[in-house]
Amino acid sequence: MEGALVSPEAEEGSTTVEYAIGAIATAGFAGLLIAVLKSGGVKSLLTNIIQSALSL
């Protein structure tokens, strides 16, 4: 059963890779969010919400 253990050297750099994957996923999500927020329907909806909040 000794072969089932993973040596610490085998996992070196795995944390860095996990952070890199997280950063790439975050950047992709941010790009998608920007694309959605720039669309006409969402922009007019947000404008209407802000105008109605300011008119109170």
DSSP 1-56: -GGGSPPGGGGTTHHHHHHHHHHHHHHHHHHHHHHHHTSHHHHHHHHHHHHHHHT-
pTM for the full predicted model = 0.55
pLDDT at residue number 51: 94
pLDDT at residue number 39: 86
More confident residue, 24 or 14: 24
pLDDT at residue number 26: 96
Q: Can you tell me the mean pLDDT for 29-54?
A: 90
